[in-house]
Structure 1
């Protein structure tokens, strides 16, 4: 209790000293964050044992080497607040405390993340952050938190930008570099103001583990992969290094067939979306592991140019997407949204485009590109000849185009 009393005095000091000079901590997400979150697979069934095991799996499975670094506990780790208002972890599920768990995650060479909510209670009805922002931020810093996902349940008539800015200011005052993930669901257009507040912001409601569907949850709908993909239209101009559109976490490995998982993962890479796995890392199939660790796909997502891809053309349930990459390279992805195979013929001379966002031109009459199929891991000639392919239902052809020497 003495420690918490000292922390409370620290909170009061920060409230007086910092509000006029607070800002977002810069440079924490120069490329889209990569990690794992407990919610999609486990919901409230979280514990320190499981989180440790997931960290072990990330470190041992090849995901860490592929670039994944955050282990994030979502809702239900907290049960109450103490007499001074400090958040209390569930003593049954987290008997060693959150700091010990964060230390364990750090010992694996990974980073540790946690969840809270801007309202009075979290989405699962646990104590949330409203009115305790500076207290919580100071506690997160003391515990060694590196990433905060901040939800938007039970907020009443709160102003989203003001609520998230308050937590931003608290994180700045606490003095620890913590990636701030705004999980506001896109209701208040966070892409218009989020860049000054957080490092990524949700653009939609929750994802659901299906490729093309909606799930009715009574007073709200969860969306499948294609539904969320369609909701990204018009948002690419707001994304870039340190401020990313977030179409929600990945469902790869949670029950869809491999072709749909592959298409899902590829489109999130084209979107320059955060890659936050949501499966059980302890029990991955070879197909799931291969998808989540594909180096070429991840390189497209993590490209330092920081440009979100765009839909170039759509015809007969087939969409062609393009993403400019650093070094004059391009990613070209052909998505088959239909339930049957589609034959495609990419005639490069008819695919000239100038991307006003990146100021990059794609014109094969001026420049010849070599072609690599990133899922087949095969070189495929160059852009002097059309490329013909058959794409299975709910699958993708994803190509990296690079300059011919």
Structure 2
């Protein structure tokens, strides 16, 4: 056999190996066709978690009507981990999760819900527990054996790592494990994941962590926490909407609804996340939330905007001082509009529809209200009207007016 022929065989073998690997080296399709909805333990409980909390949260998700509203994932964040055994297999903390993760997954599945788990691309997690670096395939197999449905993958303790490569490795590990698991990338937008993560994960964080305030920035130690408006601005100003769509979403971080902001701010918070097609991952204590919070989180009209199958992220079409207007094309020729009052003072909406032409180059959708009259319904107050007359309203500080437009109707 001559050297040329040998080289051809070697190259051919490598290409065959690559082709074989690529046959499974992809994220699971069919997950997150609309932005995922669920709950995560971190915002409210941080490391103070155990299996009782997770079971009670699953119970509450069903009892409080959240499951019926569309929320389905119960996600355990950092600090569930114990140590690795002699074979390197990760074990849950035996004091916090004495029954094991398989039993917990079975319980959650028995409620008609899905269980999520957390790990990190580094050697240790943000909470100092064992990360997945060097154990990606082993961990993915372990999660699959437990019946895990969702993997949130963080970015602490990663000096020298390339984010795209590290997340691709875990994507491939999940695919090789063979169980469909939604893959949530959490590297805080540091490497512009929207440019590469569409083929790697089902969603990717775009900013530092959210902080429980409407308009502020908080910097404890090495991390930065951003309020609701600060996160919104990073999405509205950075041209990220073209990267979002079914199966691949810009993740604005978990919700802080029910964690201490006013009801107006909570309604605005949920509305913004729905308009921007961000995952809706609750971060409050579902077991003891108020009835007002429950009604906010289960608003069917707002959730329908979030879960619209067209999957287009809203665009900011008007900014008039503290008052802004966002538009989101919906399936079936409909639109969602949101007037946002960013101010600490009340703001008046005096909107002449006939002076407004909505144009969205991304979805190739437009509407001229001089030519067409649309009916509208207010998704929070339930008021109705149409675009043949001016829209007048007074918005409280840090509140929204959110409308769904259907039509066109007869003038």
Q: TM-score, normalised by structure 2?
A: 0.93
Secondary structure of 1:45's match? Answer: coil
Give the aligned partner of residue 350 of structure 2: 345
Secondary structure of 2:242's match? Answer: helix
User: Partners of 2:362 and 2:66 in 1: how far apart?
Assistant: 32
Asked if 2 retains the 8 angstrom alpha-carbon contact of 1:55 and 1:108, the reply is yes
Secondary structure of 1:283's match? Answer: coil
Give the aligned partner of residue 304 of structure 2: 299
User: Is residue 336 from structure 1 mapped to residue 317 from structure 2 by the alignment?
Assistant: no
Give the aligned partner of residue 165 of structure 1: 168
1:250-329 correspondence runs (5 A): 250-329=255-334
Give the aligned partner of residue 5 of structure 2: none
Asked if 2 retains the 8 angstrom alpha-carbon contact of 1:18 and 1:173, the reply is no
User: Partners of 1:216 and 1:364 in 2: how far apart?
Assistant: 45
* Aligned partner (choices 148, 173, 180) of residue 145 of structure 1: 148
1:221 to partner: Cα distance: 1.3
1:350 to partner: Cα distance: 1.5
1:108 to partner: Cα distance: 0.2
**CA deviations over 1:224-271 (Å, ceiling 9, x no partner):** 111111111310000000000001000000011101111111000000
Asked if 2 retains the 8 angstrom alpha-carbon contact of 1:209 and 1:256, the reply is yes
User: Partners of 1:168 and 1:117 in 2: how far apart?
Assistant: 13
Q: TM-score, normalised by structure 1?
A: 0.95
User: Partners of 2:100 and 2:223 in 1: how far apart?
Assistant: 34
Larger Rg: 2
Secondary structure of 1:137's match? Answer: helix
User: Partners of 1:41 and 1:16 in 2: how far apart?
Assistant: 44
Give the aligned partner of residue 126 of structure 2: 123
User: Is residue 61 from structure 1 mapped to residue 64 from structure 2 by the alignment?
Assistant: yes
**CA deviations over 1:309-347 (Å, ceiling 9, x no partner):** 011111121110000001111011000000000011111
Gaps of 5+ in 1: 1-14
Question: Could you say if the C-alpha distance between residues 316 and 163 of structure 1 is closer, same or farther in structure 2, counting changes exceeding 3 Å?
Answer: same
Gaps of 5+ in 2: 1-16
Secondary structure of 2:273's match? Answer: helix
User: Is residue 230 from structure 1 mapped to residue 233 from structure 2 by the alignment?
Assistant: yes
The count of corresponding residues between Structure 1 and Structure 2 is 390
Asked if 2 retains the 8 angstrom alpha-carbon contact of 1:59 and 1:108, the reply is yes
1:16 to partner: Cα distance: 11
User: Partners of 2:141 and 2:21 in 1: how far apart?
Assistant: 14
Secondary structure of 2:287's match? Answer: helix
Give the aligned partner of residue 10 of structure 2: none
User: Partners of 2:289 and 2:20 in 1: how far apart?
Assistant: 45
User: Partners of 2:78 and 2:18 in 1: how far apart?
Assistant: 30
Give the aligned partner of residue 395 of structure 1: 399
**CA deviations over 1:278-312 (Å, ceiling 9, x no partner):** 00000111111111000000000000011000111
Misfit runs of 4+, over 6 Å: 15-18
Give the aligned partner of residue 12 of structure 2: none
User: Partners of 1:49 and 1:177 in 2: how far apart?
Assistant: 26
User: Partners of 2:328 and 2:107 in 1: how far apart?
Assistant: 38
